[in-house]
């Protein structure tokens, strides 16, 4: 079980010696990460998380998930950024992007507090009507505005629907172990709480209670998920680029960036991978996009987007490279049947599986894009199951840290995220932002 990297489609774009010459920088990045001497070294708890996690809390997560599966029809996960993307990505990867519409013995799962859209929240309240609802509010800081607003609205809904005691029983809180408004509120009300460890940042937190509770509620095997990550942790420690595909991926994307590529386009041929790309975009965008540097992470689903963005990738400005995530085994198979009349002319596909056709679409596309000036990295993943997902999560997290150190940034902070918040608070009239408000209003001509 391993994620394997293929670099053959770099031929003509990056020479092998450009990768091997990065070995010395990879070694330094590896030492910084493993010895805890790099920037942001107080946020590297995710490195050992697959083995070094709170086993009692893990058991509590499973118990809570069992209870929620029994007493809940609609489970609402409130959170934004790293407090939302991982759980949603994992559930769609493992269960389907049509999870809620499927026949199942687990609750529907909705995500709230990841925008400031009143329309979405109002619609969710309608969806809840007449159904048994539980909520899991997730915020490491416990102070983020988007989830705080959604939590206020949904708490009121639970209080009005169930009364205080039952509303408390149906509320699960995942936050810092001691700090923040949410923690104080949880202690006061007596909500069951789970912890985001101090040394794990939001976008690296999917394998903590942040991701694990919603993932378990969806009926996924979180033991197998942690095992996959633990296997990756054990396998991806050799700094030698010849033996470590995670580091080789970090080196290859670094080499492509230095060759002038500005955008890394994550590609999958399975629609249920789309949210994993969103998770990956946050992981890499927030970790590398700073100090005026970084690759812009973007994503597509093929062949869907071959009919929209495909033209640009093939024939537009050569700013991109692709990272294609492929699965050795499709999540499900469907055979194309023979049709006696062959009115649609498709009998040349009779007896073939959809995954065979998808494979040919990949092969045709990767060669066409190479001809068009867009190189590709290919990650081969065994299956869309828990073990592969755990491995993939760890693989991307570690490659992100190594890439970030090679880029010379702190991969574990996100100072840029604060700028919009300060302006928004000032414009909303939050106490303490009076001076900034005057300046912003002048700039807006108000
Ligand atoms: O990766 C990060 O740290 C951020 O994306 C956070 O996860 C996001 O801003 C939400 O923060 P919080 O969990 O504190 O509400």
* pLDDT tens column, 43-85: 999 999 999 999 999 999 999 999 999 999 999 999 999 999 9
Surface-to-core class of residue 161, CB atoms within 10 Å of its CB (0-12 exposed, 13-18 middle, 19+ buried)? middle
pLDDT tens profile 391-436: 999 999 999 999 999 999 999 999 998 889 899 999 999 999 999 9
Ramachandran assignment for 251, one of left (phi > 0), alpha (psi -120 to 50 degrees), beta (any other): alpha
The sheet that has 171-175: what strands, in order across it? 108-112, 74-78, 133-139, 171-175, 192-195
Rounded-to-integer distance, Cα 333 and Cα 14, Å: 36
Q: Which of 307, 341, 418, 435 is catalytic?
A: 307
Q: Is the pLDDT of residue 1 over 70?
A: no
Q: Which residues contact 2 (CB under 8 A, 6 or more apart)?
A: 232, 235, 245, 382, 391
Other residues' Cβ atoms within 10 Å of the Cβ of residue 131: 12
Q: Which of 111, 113, 140, 201 to mutate to test the pocket of ligand 1 (most atoms within 8 A of CB)?
A: 140
The residue among 276, 333, 268 whose CA lies nearest residue 303 is 268
pLDDT band at 283 (very low <50, low <70, confident <90, very high): very high
Summarize the confidence of residues 205-213 as an average pLDDT. 98
Q: Whose CA is nearest to atom 2 of ligand 1?
A: 202
421 noted as active-site residue: yes
pTM of the predicted model over 0.95: yes
pLDDT at position 207: 98
The alpha carbon of 81 and the centre of ligand 1 are apart by a number of angstroms equal to 5
Q: Is 411 in the pocket of ligand 1 (CB under 6 A)?
A: no
Q: Which atom of ligand 1 is found nearest the CA of 82? A: 7
Q: Which of 286, 288, 322, 397 is catalytic?
A: 286
Summarize the confidence of residues 195-207 as an average pLDDT. 97
Alpha-carbon Rg for the chain, nearest whole angstrom, is 23
Q: Is 286 in the pocket of ligand 1 (CB under 6 A)?
A: yes
* Phi, psi for residue 251 in degrees, rounded to 5: -70, -40
Q: Is 180 in the pocket of ligand 1 (CB under 6 A)?
A: no
Q: Is 201 in the pocket of ligand 1 (CB under 6 A)?
A: yes
What's the mean per-residue pLDDT of the chain?
97
Q: Which of 363, 421, 422, 434 is catalytic?
A: 421
Cβ proximity of 302 and 267 under 8 Å: yes
Summarize the confidence of residues 361-382 as an average pLDDT. 98
pLDDT at position 255: 98
Q: Is 414 in the pocket of ligand 1 (CB under 6 A)?
A: yes
Q: Is 139 in the pocket of ligand 1 (CB under 6 A)?
A: yes
Rounded-to-integer distance, Cα 326 and Cα 163, Å: 49
The alpha carbon of 204 and the centre of ligand 1 are apart by a number of angstroms equal to 10
Q: Is the pLDDT of residue 247 over 90?
A: yes
104 noted as active-site residue: no
Q: Which of 79, 82, 185, 281 to mutate to test the pocket of ligand 1 (most atoms within 8 A of CB)?
A: 82
Rounded-to-integer distance, Cα 168 and Cα 190, Å: 7
The alpha carbon of 82 and the centre of ligand 1 are apart by a number of angstroms equal to 5
The alpha carbon of 12 and the centre of ligand 1 are apart by a number of angstroms equal to 40
Q: Which of 85, 112, 114, 144 to mutate to test the pocket of ligand 1 (most atoms within 8 A of CB)?
A: 144
Rounded-to-integer distance, Cα 258 and Cα 418, Å: 29
pLDDT at position 418: 86
Q: Is 287 in the pocket of ligand 1 (CB under 6 A)?
A: no
Q: Is 141 in the pocket of ligand 1 (CB under 6 A)?
A: yes
Please give the full DSSP string across 137-176, using - where no structure is assigned: EEESSS--HHHHHHHHHHHHHHHHHH-HHHHHHTEEEEE-
Rounded-to-integer distance, Cα 68 and Cα 170, Å: 8
Q: Is 202 in the pocket of ligand 1 (CB under 6 A)?
A: yes
Q: Which atom of ligand 1 is found nearest the CA of 84? A: 7
Q: Is the pLDDT of residue 279 over 90?
A: yes
Cβ proximity of 246 and 236 under 8 Å: yes
Q: Which atom of ligand 1 is found nearest the CA of 80? A: 10
Other residues' Cβ atoms within 10 Å of the Cβ of residue 279: 24
pLDDT tens profile 303-318: 999 999 999 999 999 9
Q: Which atom of ligand 1 is found nearest the CA of 146? A: 15
Summarize the confidence of residues 1-25 as an average pLDDT. 95
Q: Whose CA is nearest to atom 8 of ligand 1?
A: 81
57 noted as active-site residue: no
Q: Which residues contact 354 (CB under 8 A, 6 or more apart)?
A: 330, 333, 334, 335, 336
Q: How wide is the angle at C-alpha 21 spanned by C-alphas 16 and 26, nearest 5°?
A: 115
Q: Is the pLDDT of residue 147 over 80?
A: yes
Q: Is the peptide bond before 67 cis (omega within 30 degrees of 0)?
A: no
Residue with tokens 């109002």: 122
């Amino acid at each position: 079980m391993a994620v394997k990297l293929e670099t053959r489609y770099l031929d003509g774009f990056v020479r092998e010696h450009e990768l091997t010459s990065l070995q010395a920088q990879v070694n330094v990045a590896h030492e910084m990460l493993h010895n805890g001497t790099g920037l942001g070294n107080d946020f590297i708890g995710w490195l050992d998380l697959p083995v070094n996690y709170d086993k009692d809390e893990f058991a509590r997560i499973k118990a809570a998930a069992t209870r929620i599966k029994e007493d809940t029809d609609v489970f609402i996960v409130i959170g934004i950024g790293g407090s939302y993307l991982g759980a949603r990505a994992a559930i769609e990867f493992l269960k389907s992007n049509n999870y809620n519409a499927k026949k199942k013995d687990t609750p529907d799962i909705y995500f709230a507090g990841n925008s400031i859209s009143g329309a979405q929240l109002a619609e969710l309240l309608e969806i809840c009507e007449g159904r048994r609802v539980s909520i899991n509010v997730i915020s490491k800081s416990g102070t983020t505005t988007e989830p705080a607003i959604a939590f206020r609205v949904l708490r009121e809904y639970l209080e009005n629907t169930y009364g205080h005691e039952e509303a408390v029983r149906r509320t699960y809180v995942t936050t810092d172990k001691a700090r923040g408004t949410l923690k104080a509120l949880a202690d006061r009300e007596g909500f069951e709480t789970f912890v985001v460890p101090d040394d794990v940042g939001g976008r690296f937190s999917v394998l903590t209670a942040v991701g694990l509770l919603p993932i378990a509620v969806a009926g996924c095997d979180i033991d197998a998920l942690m095992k996959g990550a633990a296997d990756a942790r054990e396998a991806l420690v050799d700094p030698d680029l010849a033996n470590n595909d995670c580091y080789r991926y970090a080196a290859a994307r670094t080499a492509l960036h230095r060759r002038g590529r500005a955008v890394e386009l994550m590609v999958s041929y399975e629609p249920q991978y789309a949210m994993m790309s969103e998770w990956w975009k946050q992981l890499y965008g927030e970790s590398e996009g700073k100090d005026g540097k970084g690759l812009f992470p973007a994503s597509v689903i093929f062949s869907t987007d071959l009919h929209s963005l495909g033209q640009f990738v093939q024939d537009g400005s050569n700013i991109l490279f692709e990272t294609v995530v492929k699965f050795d085994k499709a999540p499900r198979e469907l055979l194309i049947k023979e049709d006696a009349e062959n009115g649609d002319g498709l009998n040349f596909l009779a007896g073939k599986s959809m995954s065979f056709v998808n494979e040919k679409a990949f092969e045709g596309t990767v060669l066409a894009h190479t001809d068009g000036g867009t190189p590709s990295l290919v990650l081969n993943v065994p299956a869309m199951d828990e073990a592969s997902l755990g491995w993939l999560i760890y693989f991307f997290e570690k490659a992100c840290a190594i890439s970030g150190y090679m880029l010379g940034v702190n991969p574990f902070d996100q100072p840029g995220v604060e700028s919009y918040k300060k302006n928004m608070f000032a414009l909303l009239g939050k106490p303490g932002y009076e001076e900034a408000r005057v300046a912003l209003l002048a700039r807006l001509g108000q």
